[in-house]
Amino acid sequence: MFRKLLIANRGEIACRIMRTARRLGIDTVAVYSEADATSMHVEQADEAWSIGAAPARESYLSIDKIIDVARRTGAEAIHPGYGFLSENPAFAEACAAAGVVFVGPSASAMRLMGSKASAKSLMERAGVSIIPGYHGDATDLASLEREARRLGFPLLVKASSGGGGRGMRLIESLDQLRDAVAAASREALSAFGEGRVLLERRLLRARHVEVQIFADAEGGCLAFQERDCSLQRRRQKILEETPAPGLARELREAMQQAAVTAARSVGYVGAGTVEFLLEDGRFYFLEMNTRLQVEHPITEMVAGQDLVEWQLRVAAGERLPIGQEALHLRGCAIEARICAEDPQQDFLPSTGLIERLRLPDLGEHIRVDAGVRGGDRITPYYDPLLAKLIVWGEHRAAALQRLQRALDQFEIVGPATNLDFLRALSRETWLESGAYDTTSVEANAAELRRTTPLAPEDERVILAAGAAVWLSDLCLEARATAAGRDGACAPWDATDGWRLDGRQGADVEFLMNDQRIKLRLHPEGEGAFRLESNGHAARVEFAPSGAELRLCVDGVWREVGVVRRAAALVIVLRGRNHVLAPHDPLRSASRPGDSDRRLIAPLPARVTRVHATNGQVVKAGASIVTLEVMKTEFVLRAPRDGAIAGLACKEGEWVPEGATLAYISDDAAPVVAATNGEG
């Protein structure tokens, strides 16, 4: 076994690999970019080396820099994780040339199966059904247009290399092809360092089912139970389960045999995943991922095995730990991917400081693979995946119940996340029945994004928590005032609501969910008050403890999280965040401005394409600027009819959050952007 392992990755997968390496007594070397200098994977490694600037092409995609660190540290092997260089045969060859073991398949197997185009050709020759498409050598636009006409629509434009839904676009007509090819190629180049694309016919009601295979250098090869990855948003998986619900035994065995055949046909060694689309009782080869999958933990949960340990042992020349006949699978496991993205803003990636992170109760049947901690800052440079919640149950219903409870316990305050979206998804009847396909999430996205109305008792708890914090702050202020007079007390230092004509209490107003709510508080000594709101009265007791607050409302004790955000409070109840902002009646009403004329960067991002020029007349909804953040491209569109004026960005540059990128004027006369210098 190796003595020292370099991990050429970051985030949760780097931490995941380190956990196994530590258990096996292997020292670990982390590499990191400038943006990741204080990250979790850097802290957990035995040693960590800086390899460059934040953009991945200057750090995590730099083969020379990573090999140099391996040489300087004496690392005997490199684990690439997934994404970045994990499916790059040139990286595997560079490792071999440097005398370092690449924890993965050979470069030749990777070229054959890691490329979607060559893998489809190979499987087609082996007699395995493939989805109609074009994966030939000609990739110029004219050739792609000709093939698109032949195939018909809808079509997927897909990156030939990589995975994870990156570099993929759905098109409904020929006039969308040019932009889709350009966007998919740019995204793939940024994420994987290679921008070739292919075309594939879109199956309309398919399920996405994959088979994990493992092979050693002695000819041993086995297939694990399949994983159903059909629950996707924009072709990116968000929830996976094993086994696939309702899959016939004969179909399962046929897919496993096809997966093993694919691996043996190229002399594959290591972990790989063969992906299929399943429709009308037939399966079609989709692609092979020549690496460990993001969803590998659910296979580990049902098999009772550590797949990273298997990878390391096979890479060290050992045989597979067990054979196919000794592989015993039990129960059902489900994984939910928790990402920094805002479902209410069309899943726009989200950045910023993690102000609070609280994991669900972990144990034998609940696991979290995370790459962040409270206090970490999410940057715009990498994938938005924050953590993976993995649960196991003796049967599918038990696993789903465990998933629902764990999601309710998961708390994140800071960047927007998809936690509420996952909570809603986990309770859908069509998910519980297993009657879903790759279109189900998109078809139900509006309903899944809908905010669930607060139950009256939950609203009272949230308001009581806000009032308790307000009253505690008032008490602390009074004590500080008294301390400033050397402890001398004055009547106005009291916070018990006492008045000459009896205890009258105090009025407090909060804004919650754009509604103004008026509360009346009647203090009843330290840590207790009577609360009146919306015609309801309740006695409240509370006991602050750091970031937690225990309080009793209507005789029921509850615990909530409290995060201060400037003048506002974020109250966390059963995993959901509720913002309470103090209402200032003297605050001037906001006046309408020209925000509907400005195109503003919603977060820090790189400009990948400028679609318009100064003076160009555009209609509302026209594409103006394409930005890239967290390996994802999104388009900013004209908010109104008018003419582009004061265009203030150019391709390739990074723009800060809130930057005005363009101005939409009422006429075609360009407006010259103002300068700060003298003139």
pLDDT tens-digit series, residues 59-88: 999 999 999 999 999 999 999 999 999 999
- DSSP class of residue 114? I
The answer to the question of residue 671 being in a domain is: no
Q: Which residue segment(s) compose the domain that 660 sits in?
A: 595-665
- Domain end (from 582, 612, 647): 582
Q: How far apart are the C-alpha atoms of 214 and 311, rounded to whole Å?
A: 9
pLDDT, tens digit, 9 for 90 and up, residues 449-479: 998 888 989 999 999 999 999 888 887 777 7
Residues 22, 136: one domain? no
Q: How confident is the model at residue 124 (pLDDT cuts 50, 70, 90)?
A: confident
Q: Please state, in angstroms and rounded to a whole number, the distance separating the CA atoms of residues 567 and 585.
A: 15
Single-letter code of the amino acid located at 572: V
Instruction: Express each pLDDT in 410-426 by its tens digit.
Output: 999 999 999 999 999 99
User: In which element (H, E) is residue 187 found?
Assistant: helix 177-192
* 219 Cβ contact partners less than 8 Å away, ≥ 6 residues apart: none
Taking CA atoms, 670 is separated from 34, 617, 625, 645, in Å, by 39, 10, 17, 5
> Which among 214, 193, 186, 197 has a CA at the least distance from the CA of 90?
193
Tell me how far CA of residue 448 lies from CA of 272, 405, 647, in angstroms: 33, 18, 37
Whole-Å CA distances, 359 to 367, 410, 484? 10, 5, 41
Residue 371 counted as domain residue: yes
The residue type of 371 is: G
Environment class of residue 228 by beta-carbon count within 10 Å: exposed (0-12), middle (13-18) or buried (19+)? buried
Active-site residue set? 291
| 166 and 303 together in one domain | no
**CATH for 92:** 3.40.50.20
Last residue of a domain, one of 181, 202, 223: 202
* Residue 678 included in any domain: no
Compute the residue count for the chain: 679
> Sorting pLDDT into bands at 50, 70 and 90, what band is 333?
very high
Q: Is residue 112 part of a domain?
A: no
Q: 156 pLDDT exceeds 50? A: yes
230 contacts 436 by C-beta, under 8 angstroms: yes
Q: Are 52 and 189 in the same domain?
A: no
Query: 551 forms bridges with which residues in the sheet?
Result: 542, 558
Tokens describing residue 78: 């490199």
Q: By three-state DSSP, how is residue 611 classified?
A: coil
pLDDT of residue 235: 80
- Domain membership flag for residue 488: yes
In which band, very low, low, confident or very high, does the pLDDT at 488 lie, cut at 50, 70 and 90? Answer: low
Q: Which helix (H) or strand (E) holds 186?
A: helix 177-192
CB 669 within 8 A of CB 651: no
Whether 422 and 470 share a structural domain = no
Specify whether 223 is located in the same domain as 371. yes
Number of domains into which the chain is organized? 5
Q: Order of strands, edge to edge, in the sheet holding 642-645?
A: 598-600, 660-665, 642-645, 617-618
Q: Cα separation of 259 and 256, whole Å?
A: 5
Q: At what angle do helices 89-97 and 63-73 cross, to 10 degrees?
A: 30
**Is the residue at 124 inside a domain?**
no
Residue 115 domain flag: no
CATH number, position 563: 3.30.700.30
φ/ψ (deg, to 5) at 152 = 85, 175
481 and 367 fall within a common domain? no
**Same domain (yes/no): 194, 209:** no
Q: Which of 289, 341, 350 has the alpha carbon at shortest distance from 159? A: 289
Residue 274 lies in a domain: yes
| Residue 304 and residue 219 share a domain | yes
Please check the confidence at residue 647 and state whether its pLDDT lies above 90: no
Query: Are residues 320 and 367 both part of a single domain?
Result: yes
pLDDT digits (tens, 9 = 90+) for 186-240: 877 776 667 778 898 888 889 999 999 999 999 999 999 999 999 999 888 999 9
Sign of CA dihedral 165, 171, 174, 177: negative
CATH code for the domain in which residue 158 is found: 3.30.1490.20
Least confident among 148-152, 400-404, 496-500? 496-500
Q: State the pLDDT at residue 291.
A: 94
The reply to whether 481 and 501 lie within a common domain is yes
Give yes or no for a cis peptide into 604 (omega within 30° of 0): no
Specify whether 44 is located in the same domain as 173: no
Q: Please tell me the least confidently modeled range out of 3-17, 251-265, 316-330, 584-598.
A: 584-598
CATH number of residue 622's parent domain: 2.40.50.100
pLDDT tier at 378, thresholds 50, 70, 90: very high
Domain boundary among 103, 124, 152: 103
Task: Indicate whether 63 and 173 sit together in one domain.
Answer: no
Q: Helix or strand or coil: residue 625? A: strand
pLDDT tens-digit map of 178-201: 988 888 888 777 766 677 788 988
pTM for this one? 0.86
650 exposed, middle or buried (CB, 10 Å; 0-12, 13-18, 19+)? exposed
Residue the block writes with tokens 């609280």:
358
| Cα–Cα distance measured from residue 381 to residue 385, given in angstroms and rounded to the nearest whole number | 12
Q: Which amino acid, one-letter code, is at 676?
A: N
> Would you give the distance in Å from CA 93 to the centre of its chain?
31
